[in-house]
Structure 1
Amino acid sequence: MLAAIAEGPVIPVYILDDATPKHYAMGGASRWWLQHSLASLDAALRAKGSRLILRRGESDVVLAAIAEETGATRVHCIRHHEPWWRNAERAVAKRLDLVCHDGNYLSSPGSITTGSGGQYKIFTPFWRALKTTMPPPHPTHAPTDLPAPAPWPKSDTLADWNLLPTKPDWSAGFGEEWTPGEDGARARLTAFKRHAAQYGETRNLPSIEGSSRLSPHLHFGEVSAAQVWHAVADAGGSVDTFLGEIGWRDYAQNIIREFPDYGSKNARDTLNALPWRTGATADADLQAWQQGRTGYPIVDAGMRQLWATGWMHNRVRMITASFLIKHLLIDWRVGERWFWDCLVDADYGSNAVNWQWTAGTGVDSNMFVRIMAPLVQSPKFDAGAYIRRWVPELSGVRGEAIHDPDEAGFRPRAYPAKIIGHREGRERALAAVKQQR
């Protein structure tokens, strides 16, 4: 924004471009966030004597039309690294003078290289190299006012875009959990600063919720990675674990720059012939997973939290993903697409890298034969209160029985039996690996 202001009047523009990403157009939960984030941004701009222009269509076509209408000579933007937005940037640059700025990551993706100049594929050496360039530059102060054009170009309204769900409205719980926009991001960061020193000890405990919950604010650019770094880096304790998670965002962007189809193609071809389950029975199991009706309380709590709030605790994301891939032997890409639609923080790089890590297909990943045991994970990470909150049928189950009420003999009639036993699912997954080899 400051670079644009230095050149004269500024026209802030947001384009809803669903054509360029094709099947990776923004999912339903992200569109809910976008509605409220854009409303917040427009209000902030109007307080500075400006406003937000909304247009819908292909980015290069829309920006060229606005330039013709207004006489604008240059476009400034924050650089994005999803393959479709890189294509869009090239298309805009053919029509207009485009200036791309880095701003949403600790370093410019692609800039952290090995000694030979290549890209890191493994996170640990990448993070070690990235840390040598830290801290990031301090964020600059926001301008107090923005020079306005005369006249303003026409704009859509948010209502024109129908971003919010209506038939049915599944977002009733979102507003209780989230405040999209810069004010919400600042409040979330302020709250997290008080607990950042204990992040390493609490981040895996879903009942305590040691996460920062900054991921959707970071994804939508309402707070920067640099701003978060400088706010918490000196917290002490185990804050370095959290800083590593911020570094993981950078790592994921580097991966999708090198492997643009990471969301749809195995990075390792050793599992390309794995016989994933398909057909009516697999579809029924998938639906049970999506609805949180698997009979595994920690899995069901996570899937219901996802549906109700557009977010899921990180430890539980790993458990639910592993369950789909290994217990149910359903292709990781099916889960990746479900998360893409349901997460308010749906990010192509992070989502794809995390799913391939769990599936054992990523360039840096867990081995497929390492199968998470949800009935072990649940008591290990003290998930009882979390389960009781998100699976109300189990709210009356006390003590350790909450983790496996079926086995303990306390399963309420309203709660389903396990759709597959742990040993059965594990043995089926291992047999599938042996078969494809």
Structure 2
Amino acid sequence: MQTSVVLFTCDLRLSDHPPLRAALHGGGRVVPLFVRDPAVDAAGFAAPNRLAFLSDCLRDLDARLRERGGRLVLREGDTVTEVCRVAAEADADEVHMAGDVSAFAHMRERRLRRALEADGRRLYVHDTVCTAVAPGAVTPASSDHFAVFTPYYRRWSAQGLRDALDAPGAVVVPEQVGSAPLPKRGDVNGVSPGLCAGGETEGRRRLTAWLRSGVAAYEECHDDLAGDATSRLSPHLHFGTLSPVEVVHRARRAGGAGAEAFVRQVAWRDFNRQVLAARPDAAARDYRTHRDRWRGGRDAEADAQTWREGRTGYPIVDAAMRQLRHEGWMHNRGRLLAASFLTKTLYVDWRVGARHFLDLLVDGDMANNQLNWQWMAGTGTDTRPNRVLNPVTQGKRYDPDGAYVRRWVEELADVKAAGVHEPWKLPAPERGSTGYPEPVVSLAEGLDRFKRARATA
């Protein structure tokens, strides 16, 4: 009986899992393997919120495998070393895994392929596991990737998706392959108190509930900060407890303008991944440089720290930053506002903000996080690189009653809607009693500084 290893990475599910289905073809045995690699910690990506969510995902994956007669094998160490070791223990001929786009993933794949071939084994890498459309599947005539979203989306929408695959009914795992103990969420320190639960079971429950009662209003309400009308599925897409292929299929079956707008957001995720696949250095370097001389020194760091703490004096920005710290997640409109404020109003390097988001976001990954930050900083794929989001105007538009601000900025909980987005205009006694800080910089001063910097860059 043939034995294969399935290396799980960013695809922690059983439903619609092409590597697992390929490994099980013909009724062979499978070692479902996850490797806890210290290189991930060393690179700074092992943030507490993601480790806690990962623990949920691994325990749920193990439980779902046990329902089918299998189990998850967990190893700790260098991924290439551990995969080769497990393949030898199981006498496996093949290793199957999902393709990914980061520089780290590409390096891991190259090392693993060489090591396995040296042992007489083969590596199979499967596309459309972590994306709906594979990076590089649609390209313009003159380039290896699309640099503008709209033409990409037209081609992406016309691309036929493969059918979603059912979860396997049975999984047979060789008994001789041992496993390290599964991690527990409670063993992770520094987790945001409001962090959501992970795992495929929870992800599928959320998706079903969203398609039943949330997606119809998505186009109209997705920017409503207080209404919280987004899907909150991004952590599950990041960890692969949900398949983007299945998500798109099910949303399209639901139909309507809301579903179309939601699918467009899934396409944005694929868009960023095809950019990073073609330009791996965009994770750390400007995709389109303006030769910015970002502010540095103690004043800039003090402003950045004020931003991190949610004490800039601009309520909508501070509310978003405090939501991030409490939940390990932030509303998409809040992400745009927070990024615009740091890079355009404070004129602090986008990498400073991207690092802070990666430290806290449960859905933080290199493609979406880094390229969305570059988009807002004007160094990425945005065709209007100098756009600046006014936090007062945006707050009044997307949180008109101030409910989102009052939810997260407790100092302003008793301030009426008319003053909640401009507390510096409140009468002096009322303003002083809130304990809320004055603006770190005036919007006019920040805008003027940014325009002068970009004009001379």
Q: What is the TM-score of this pair, normalised by structure 2?
A: 0.89
Aligned to 2:173: 148
The answer on 1:430 being equivalent to 2:451 is yes
Does structure 1 retain, via aligned residues, the 8 Å contact 2:303–2:346? Answer: yes
Does structure 1 retain, via aligned residues, the 8 Å contact 2:97–2:126? Answer: yes
1:157 corresponds, among 173, 181, 188, to 181
The answer on 1:241 being equivalent to 2:261 is yes
Aligned in 2, Cα 1:82/1:307: closer, same or farther, shift over 3 Å?
A: same
Greater displacement, 17-26 / 64-73: 17-26
Aligned in 2, Cα 1:116/1:395: closer, same or farther, shift over 3 Å?
A: same
Aligned to 1:330: 348
Equivalent runs, 1:379-418 vs 2, <5 Å: 379-382=396-399, 384-409=402-427, 410-411=430-431, 412-418=433-439
Does structure 2 retain, via aligned residues, the 8 Å contact 1:55–1:155? Answer: yes
Please give the alpha-carbon distance, in whole angstroms, between the structure 1 residues aligned to 2:94 and 2:317.
49
Please give the alpha-carbon distance, in whole angstroms, between the structure 1 residues aligned to 2:346 and 2:53.
31
Aligned to 1:341: 359
- Distance apart, 1:137 and its partner CA: 2.4
Please give the alpha-carbon distance, in whole angstroms, between the structure 2 residues aligned to 1:197 and 1:341.
33
The answer on 1:130 being equivalent to 2:156 is yes
Greater displacement, 375-384 / 18-27: 18-27
Does structure 1 retain, via aligned residues, the 8 Å contact 2:216–2:258? Answer: yes
Does structure 1 retain, via aligned residues, the 8 Å contact 2:52–2:191? Answer: no
Please give the alpha-carbon distance, in whole angstroms, between the structure 2 residues aligned to 1:207 and 1:41.
33
Does structure 2 retain, via aligned residues, the 8 Å contact 1:216–1:345? Answer: yes
Moved >6 Å (runs of 4+): none
- Distance apart, 1:353 and its partner CA: 1.3
Aligned to 1:190: 208
The answer on 1:251 being equivalent to 2:271 is yes
2:389 aligned partner, one-letter code = M
SS of residue in 1 equivalent to 2:38: coil
1:71 aligned partner, one-letter code = D
SS of residue in 2 equivalent to 1:261: helix
1:141 aligned partner, one-letter code = D
Does structure 2 retain, via aligned residues, the 8 Å contact 1:11–1:53? Answer: yes
Consecutive unaligned residues in structure 2, runs of 5 or more = 1-19, 117-121
Please give the alpha-carbon distance, in whole angstroms, between the structure 2 residues aligned to 1:255 and 1:164.
36
- Distance apart, 1:154 and its partner CA: 2.2
- Distance apart, 1:22 and its partner CA: 4.8
1:79 corresponds, among 82, 96, 99, to 99
SS of residue in 2 equivalent to 1:11: strand
Aligned to 1:265: 285
Aligned in 2, Cα 1:117/1:413: closer, same or farther, shift over 3 Å?
A: closer
Please give the alpha-carbon distance, in whole angstroms, between the structure 1 residues aligned to 2:313 and 2:214.
33
2:132 corresponds, among 106, 111, 121, to 106
Does structure 2 retain, via aligned residues, the 8 Å contact 1:45–1:52? Answer: yes
What is the RMSD computed on CA atoms of the aligned residues? 1.8
Please give the alpha-carbon distance, in whole angstroms, between the structure 1 residues aligned to 2:405 and 2:55.
31
- Distance apart, 1:419 and its partner CA: 0.9
- Distance apart, 1:51 and its partner CA: 1.1
- Distance apart, 1:377 and its partner CA: 0.2
The answer on 1:42 being equivalent to 2:62 is yes
Aligned in 2, Cα 1:416/1:195: closer, same or farther, shift over 3 Å?
A: same
The answer on 1:376 being equivalent to 2:401 is no
Does structure 2 retain, via aligned residues, the 8 Å contact 1:359–1:367? Answer: no
Does structure 2 retain, via aligned residues, the 8 Å contact 1:298–1:403? Answer: yes
1:119 aligned partner, one-letter code = H
Equivalent runs, 1:246-325 vs 2, <5 Å: 246-269=266-289, 271-272=290-291, 274-325=292-343
Does structure 2 retain, via aligned residues, the 8 Å contact 1:127–1:244? Answer: yes
Does structure 2 retain, via aligned residues, the 8 Å contact 1:21–1:85? Answer: no
Q: What is the number of residues matched between the two proteins? A: 425
The answer on 1:2 being equivalent to 2:21 is yes
